[in-house]
Amino acid sequence: MTERRWARVMSAVVAVLIGTLTMAGCATDKGPAQAAIAAAETAVSSTLAEASKYVPDEVRSLQAGLTAAKEKFNKGDYAAATTEAKAVADKASQVASAASARKAELTKSWESLNAGMPRVVESIKSRVDILQSKKLPANMTADKLAAAKSGLGEITQQWTAATEAYKGGDLAEAIAKGSGVKAKAAEVMTTLGMPVPDALKG
């Protein structure tokens, strides 16, 4: 066998060996990548229910990361898929913590609203009842009283909706509706000539 022919044979052998080793390496990487993606899927799924309510942007980021890991896996880039999936799993834990913190913050805000708002509504109702039962004072007109009564009805309806949202587990909606009640209550109290508590201002 000539030297040139021997070189060609050796080159072919080396090429086959490299191909074989590459395939073996890919096969070795595939299993860990599958396991990492499965773990990431479990981590993401376990955070969805709570996190979607309180940190939806973070959830979308998690889902995008999981999709990217799967795409890399499908392209055969198992090492990159493993890295991406592990990052998603780690981030899922952080997102769960962020959701828990946000829930606690909203719960505290709701408890503050719920502690004072029913008394405010009752005081407005009492003032309206008193004004309806006697001659109106000089600073109160029939139109103002009618507007206050209408506002009281709106406040009562909105607060009921806020309470129902809270009972249904939608804290963000409860807070949003409750904040609307605060603003409207301050407006009605001003119309009635009542002092507006600091808690209703701002």
pLDDT at 202: 61
pTM of the model: 0.70
pLDDT tens profile 69-108: 999 999 999 999 999 999 999 999 999 999 999 999 999 9
Give, for all 202 residues of the chain, the pLDDT tens digit.
Answer: 444 443 343 343 333 333 333 444 445 688 898 999 999 999 999 999 889 989 999 999 999 999 999 999 999 999 999 999 999 999 999 999 999 999 999 999 999 989 889 999 999 999 999 988 888 888 888 898 999 999 999 999 999 999 999 999 899 899 999 999 999 999 999 998 888 888 887 6
DSSP state of 194: P
SS3 168: coil
In whole angstroms, what is the distance from residue 181 CA to residue 146 CA? 18
Tell me the average pLDDT of the chain: 84
Q: What angle do CA 24, 30, 36 make, to 5 degrees?
A: 150
In whole angstroms, what is the distance from residue 37 CA to residue 64 CA? 13
Rounded to a whole number, what is the largest CA-CA distance in the chain? Answer: 124
Q: What residue segments make up the domains of the chain, in order of their start?
A: 3-100, 102-200
Nearest Cα neighbor of 131 from 184, 189, 197 is: 189
In whole angstroms, what is the distance from residue 56 CA to residue 87 CA? 18
- Residue showing tokens 């828990």: 100
In whole angstroms, what is the distance from residue 69 CA to residue 39 CA? 12
55, 99 in Cβ contact below 8 A?
A: yes
